[in-house]
Amino acid sequence: MMKESSELSVKPIKCRNLWHVYPGGFTALKETFLEISAGEVVGIVGQNGSGKTTLVKHFNGLLKPSSGAVLINGIDTAEESVFNLSRHAGYVFQNPNHQLFATSVLSELQFGPKNLGLPEDEILARVEETTELFQLHAIIDDHPLRLSFPLRKIVAIASIHAMHPSILILDEPTTGQDHNGAAMVRKLIQQLRSEGKTVVLVSHDMALIAEVADRVVAMWAAEVIDSGTPREIFSNSTTLKKTMLQPPQATQLSQRLHGRVLPQITLTVDETIDALAQVADT
Amino acid sequence: MTAEIISIEGLTYQYALTDKPALLDINLSVDRGEYLAIVGPCGAGKTTLALSMNGIVPHMMMGEMRGRVLVDGRDTTQGPVREMARTVGMVFDNPEFQLSQSSVLSEMALGLENIGVPREDMLQRITEALEIVGLSGFEERSPMALSGGQQQRLAIGAALVMYPQVLVLDEPTSNLDPIGKEEVFSVAARLNEEHEITIVIVEHEVEVVASYADRVIIMDGGSIVSSGGPSAVFTDVDNLRRVGVRPPQVTEIASGLAKRGCTLTTIPVTLDEAEAEFSDWA
Domain CATH for B112: 3.40.50.300
Q: Which residues of A touch B250 (CB under 8 A)?
A: 249-250, 253
- Are B278 and A269 a contacting pair at CB < 8 A? no
- Are A253 and B271 a contacting pair at CB < 8 A? yes
Confidence at residue A3, expressed as pLDDT on a 0 to 100 scale: 42
Q: Which of A77, A69, A79 is nearest to A15 (CA)?
A: A69
Confidence at residue B176, expressed as pLDDT on a 0 to 100 scale: 85
Facing A179 at nearest CB: one of B175, B246, B281: B246
Q: Which of B5, B11, B149, B144 is nearest to B77 (CA)?
A: B11
Q: Report if residue A163 sits inside a domain.
A: no
Instruction: Quote the CA–CA distance of B19 and A226 in Å, as a whole number.
Output: 52
Sheet holding A75-76, edge to edge: A27-36, A13-21, A67-72, A75-76
Confidence at residue B98, expressed as pLDDT on a 0 to 100 scale: 81
SS (HEC) of A131-157: HHHCCCHHHCCCCHHHCCHHHHHHHHH
B244 touches chain A (CB under 8 A): yes
A260 touches chain B (CB under 8 A): yes
Number of domains composing chain A = 1
Give me the half-sphere count of Cα atoms (radius 13 Å) on the Cβ side of residue A105. Answer: 25
Contact B200, B209 (CB under 8 A): no
Q: Answer yes or no: do B265 and B189 share one domain.
A: no
Q: Whole-model pTM?
A: 0.91
Instruction: Quote the CA–CA distance of B91 and B169 in Å, as a whole number.
Output: 5
Give B15's strand partners. B63
Nearest CA in chain A to B250: A250
Q: Which residues of B touch A177 (CB under 8 A)?
A: 42
Nearest CA in chain B to A267: B249
Q: Answer yes or no: do B238 and B255 share one domain.
A: no
Q: Report if residue B231 sits inside a domain.
A: yes
Q: How confident is the model over B189-211, as pLDDT tens digits? A: 999 999 999 999 999 999 999 99
Confidence at residue A8, expressed as pLDDT on a 0 to 100 scale: 56
Residue A257's domain spans which residues? 248-282
Give A65's strand partners. none
Nearest CA in chain A to B255: A273
Residue B104's domain spans which residues? 33-43+76-246
Q: Which residues of B touch A249 (CB under 8 A)?
A: 207, 248-250, 271
Facing B249 at nearest CB: one of A179, A245, A249: A249
Facing B42 at nearest CB: one of A178, A204, A280: A178
Number of domains composing chain B = 2
B272 touches chain A (CB under 8 A): no
Contact B158, B1 (CB under 8 A): no
Q: Answer yes or no: do B223 and B267 share one domain.
A: no
Return the CA Rg of chain B: 20
Q: Report if residue B161 sits inside a domain.
A: yes
Mutate to test the interface with B, among A272, A281, A282 (most CBs of B within 10 A): A272
Confidence at residue A176, expressed as pLDDT on a 0 to 100 scale: 84
Confidence of residue B95 (pLDDT cuts 50, 70, 90): confident
Contact B127, B109 (CB under 8 A): no
Q: Report if residue A19 sits inside a domain.
A: no
Confidence at residue A9, expressed as pLDDT on a 0 to 100 scale: 67
Instruction: Quote the CA–CA distance of A91 and B171 in Å, as a whole number.
Output: 26
Q: Report if residue A280 sits inside a domain.
A: yes
- Are A257 and B42 a contacting pair at CB < 8 A? no
Q: Report if residue B169 sits inside a domain.
A: yes
A272 touches chain B (CB under 8 A): yes
Q: Answer yes or no: do B119 and B238 share one domain.
A: yes
A179 touches chain B (CB under 8 A): yes
Q: Answer yes or no: do B130 and B227 share one domain.
A: yes
Q: Report if residue B59 sits inside a domain.
A: no
Q: CA angle A139-A142-A146, nearest 5°? A: 110
Confidence of residue B175 (pLDDT cuts 50, 70, 90): confident
Q: How confident is the model over B12-54, as pLDDT tens digits? A: 999 999 999 999 999 999 999 999 999 999 999 999 999 999 9
Confidence at residue A136, expressed as pLDDT on a 0 to 100 scale: 95
Instruction: Quote the CA–CA distance of A65 and A169 in Å, as a whole number.
Output: 18
Q: Answer yes or no: do B229 and B281 share one domain.
A: no
Q: How confident is the model over A193-202, as pLDDT tens digits? A: 999 999 999 9
Question: CB-based contacts of A79: which residues, under 8 Å, 6+ apart?
Answer: none
Q: Answer yes or no: do B158 and B227 share one domain.
A: yes
- Are A253 and B257 a contacting pair at CB < 8 A? no
SS (HEC) of chain A: CHHHHCHHHCCCEEEEEEEEECCCCCEEEEEEEEEECCCCEEEEECCCCCCHHHHHHCCCCCCCCCEEEEEECCEEHHHCCHHHHCCCEEEECCCHHHCCCCCCHHHHHHHHHHHCCCCHHHHHHHHHHHHHHCCCHHHCCCCHHHCCHHHHHHHHHHHHHCCCCCEEEEECCCCCCCHHHHHHHHHHHHHHHHCCCEEEEECCCHHHHHHHCCEEEEEECCEEEEEECHHHHHHCHHHHHHHCCCCCHHHHHHHHHECCCECCCCCCHHHHHHHHHHHHHC
Q: Which residues of A touch B282 (CB under 8 A)?
A: 260-261, 279
Distance from CA of B73 to the nearest CA of A (A): 34
Q: Report if residue B10 sits inside a domain.
A: no
Instruction: Quote the CA–CA distance of B179 and A112 in Å, as a whole number.
Output: 37
Q: Which residues of B touch A279 (CB under 8 A)?
A: 281-282
How many beta-carbon pairs below 8 A join chains A and B? 94
Contact B35, B194 (CB under 8 A): no
- Are A253 and B253 a contacting pair at CB < 8 A? yes
A149 touches chain B (CB under 8 A): yes
Q: Report if residue B261 sits inside a domain.
A: yes
B15 touches chain A (CB under 8 A): no
Is residue B58 reached through a cis peptide bond, with omega within 30 degrees of 0 on the bond before it? yes
- Are B279 and A260 a contacting pair at CB < 8 A? yes
Q: Answer yes or no: do B102 and B233 share one domain.
A: yes
Confidence at residue B251, expressed as pLDDT on a 0 to 100 scale: 98
Q: Report if residue B62 sits inside a domain.
A: no
Instruction: Quote the CA–CA distance of B95 and B154 in Å, as a whole number.
Output: 9
Stretch B85-103: mean pLDDT, rounded?
88
Q: Which of left, alpha, beta for B36 (phi over 0: left; psi -120 to 50: alpha)?
A: beta
Q: Answer yes or no: do B232 and B268 share one domain.
A: no
Q: Report if residue B2 sits inside a domain.
A: no
Instruction: Quote the CA–CA distance of B11 and A74 in Å, as a whole number.
Output: 61
Q: What is the DSSP string of chain B?
A: --SEEEEEEEEEEEETT-SS-SEEEEEEEEETT-EEEEE--TTSSHHHHHHHTTTHHHHTS-EEEEEEEEETTEEGGGS-HHHHTTTEEEE-S-HHHH--SSSHHHHHHHHHHHTT--HHHHHHHHHHHHHHTT-TT-TTS-GGGS-HHHHHHHHHHHHHTT--SEEEEESTTTTS-HHHHHHHHHHHHHHHHHH--EEEEE-S-HHHHHHH-SEEEEEETTEEEEEE-HHHHHT-HHHHHHHT-PPPHHHHHHHHHHHTT---S----SHHHHHHHHHTT-
Q: Report if residue A214 sits inside a domain.
A: no
Q: Answer yes or no: do B236 and B171 share one domain.
A: yes
Q: Report if residue A188 sits inside a domain.
A: no
Low-confidence ranges of chain A (pLDDT < 70): 1-9
Q: How confident is the model over B208-243, as pLDDT tens digits? A: 999 999 999 999 999 999 999 999 999 999 999 999
* pLDDT above 60 (res B129): yes
